[in-house]
Structure 1
Amino acid sequence: MNTESIISAVGFCTYTGDGNFSVLEDSLRTISDLGASAAELSLYGEELISGGRIIPSRLERLLEITGQFDLRYSVHGQIISNFMDKEHLMLQKSVVRAMLELCNRVEAGILVHHSGQAKMPALTRIGDLDQMERDALAELAEVAKGYGVRIALENIFALSDAEYRQTPAKVGETVRAVNSQNVCGLIDFSHAYIECTRLGLDWREQIKAMAPVTGHMHVHDSFGRPYSMTKFYHPAEATALGIGDLHLPIGWGDIPWEEIFSELTFLPDTTLIMEITGNRFATEQADSLARALKLMDLVNSRRIAA
């Protein structure tokens, strides 16, 4: 762990080949050639786990690929991971256990885990959902501790008022309640922007509340507009309208990155991952990396000055 810096590594997520490892390998090579220091492995799409068990032959191939590159790795767990899913909770936890083992094998220090989701319940049941998630996180934190991995709990947005999601500030409360060195927050700035626009909250105040327990970040641009329409024939149409979770290069949306990184700080040894993939934005990745390195300097220079 690099305790000298707040943000200690910057990089990109891989794009998944849906089990085609050559796509993963090409993605990692691109990230390495750009000069990034970190890569987030999108292992949810690589057909590595079957029924909660790791497939040994595919794991060996994964290790052959990741071992080629001098990158700091994190792992993105299942998109549908959900510790508020009572019906499938045991299955959910079994996959997270397998993902933590994968982290150990590829020497990744972070497992990205999405915060919970449920149909909007009666207000009296929200506390039960929050507690279910906290109990599961505390249980899996002990597994993570054995591997030297932190579970990074990511803030997500709801698609409608019929769906329950925790606000960024409440995700921070969950991390504090679990109170484990092996659970931290993950701020996804665009997700926060979208959700707070939907709820009429001050999103800058929400991420400020979450920042002190944050040990991992997802950076990509947007306009913070909820999904008022969801059918697009091509991702570029959503970009043109500025609607939704766009995963745009830094500077394509209207998030005030320099202002945010001038005022917030995070846990020591935090990694900044740009979810800006080379399959869509290969020609923009180098510029986004340069911008992200400046954001890193904004945070780390304040620590040096202090």
Structure 2
Amino acid sequence: MTHVNSLPVLGVALTLEDLEGVEGLRDFVFAADRDVELRDFIPVDALGRDWREIGRRGRRAFAGHRGRIGIHGPYEGLMVDTPDPEVRAIVQRRFLAALDGLAEMAEGREAPHMVLHSPYTTWHGHNRVTEWDDTEGIRARTHAVLAPVVARAEALGVTLVFENCEDMDPAERVALAASFDTGAVAVSLDTGHAHYAHGATGAPPVDAFVRAAGARLAHVHVQDADGWGDRHWQIGRGNIPWHAVFAALAALPEMPRLILELADVRGAPASARWLEGQGLAR
């Protein structure tokens, strides 16, 4: 039987409002020094306000917390491979502001991370090796957008992680991360996104996404789903084969940080209990 203390500890994606207002959530996070991923930099208007104040407020909120801290970077309307140079400047400005806000919040912390969305779409997946194949273009445009962002991440000691969204080929994101040739760029896996892609677009199953990423997998969004849509359900309410997923994770040279990313953060403690009952995580 697996000893509870040997199980990987789940982190939580949340907002500062969640931490302050959801009953029991602060105790859940602080009692086990769980990793956290702040979502306050996602809203479209967040970086038009004083992002430094978001960072300062976050630093105060997590005083005494010894887990790792990261953020989900902004993504609404921000294509990481945008071809328009004027739009590119806006995307860079948003990402750089988010990085500086993270630095403000995570000052003195070990290994902060920022999640970025993958540039690979279902359209791209279905047009590989046709006359519309844009594989090289996607990579070139992503490098053009992220060059200053990666440089800032390296200077701040932040790891940028590419999260799968519509990705059909789990190896593409891994190759993209490797192409930056820096430890500041790695791979994220969203279990529900992968399960959606498997069920709806013919992508491999979730555990195959883990194996494809291998040692470059630094971060996982843990959410349950039905293979049809992006559900972000409490763990145990969908049909993701969790034993296969955690077996693949356990085979990695290092366990990535595991972040519960739920539509309703109030389900985080119950999700941890469910996975603990399965002998997988706590």
Rounded Cα–Cα distance in structure 2 between residues aligned with 1:171 and 1:76: 17
1:11-65 C-alpha deviation (Å, 9 max, x unpaired): 1111x4xxxx544533562542664511110023465421xx8444444333322
**Any unmatched runs of 5+ in structure 2?**
1-5, 125-130
Bigger mean CA deviation after superposition, 147-156 or 102-111: 102-111
Q: Aligned in 2, Cα 1:9/1:99: closer, same or farther, shift over 3 Å?
A: farther
Equivalent position to 2:177, from 158, 164, 175: 175
The equivalent of 2:272 in structure 1 is 289
The equivalent of 2:63 in structure 1 is 67
1:164-223 C-alpha deviation (Å, 9 max, x unpaired): x56322111111222210011001111112113333232243442123311000011111
The equivalent of 2:114 in structure 1 is 111
The equivalent of 1:25 in structure 2 is 20
Deviation of 1:77 after TM superposition, in Å, equals 0.8
CA contact (8 A) 1:31 1:39 kept: no
CA contact (8 A) 1:222 1:255 kept: yes
CA contact (8 A) 2:168 2:201 kept: no
1:116-175 C-alpha deviation (Å, 9 max, x unpaired): 257947524342122211343444222101111000110002xxxxxxx56322111111
Length-normalised TM-score, structure 2 = 0.78
Equivalent position to 2:213, from 210, 213, 217: 210
Rounded Cα–Cα distance in structure 2 between residues aligned with 1:184 and 1:148: 13
**Any unmatched runs of 5+ in structure 1?**
1-5, 158-164, 226-243, 298-306
Tell me how large the CA RMSD over aligned residues is.
Answer: 3.0
Matches within 5 A, 1:1-306: 9-14=9-14, 16=15, 22-27=17-22, 29=26, 31-32=28-29, 35=32, 37-45=34-42, 47-50=45-48, 54-67=50-63, 69-80=65-76, 81-87=78-84, 88-107=87-106, 109-116=112-119, 120=123, 123-157=132-166, 165=167, 167-203=169-205, 204-225=207-228, 244-264=229-249, 265-266=251-252, 268=254, 270-276=256-262, 280=264, 282=266, 284-292=267-275, 294-296=279-281
Rounded Cα–Cα distance in structure 2 between residues aligned with 1:182 and 1:91: 22
Residue type of the alignment partner of 2:71: V
Rounded Cα–Cα distance in structure 2 between residues aligned with 1:218 and 1:192: 10
User: Between Structure 1 and Structure 2, how many residues are aligned?
Assistant: 257
CA contact (8 A) 2:210 2:245 kept: no
Work out the percentage of aligned pairs sharing the same amino acid.
21
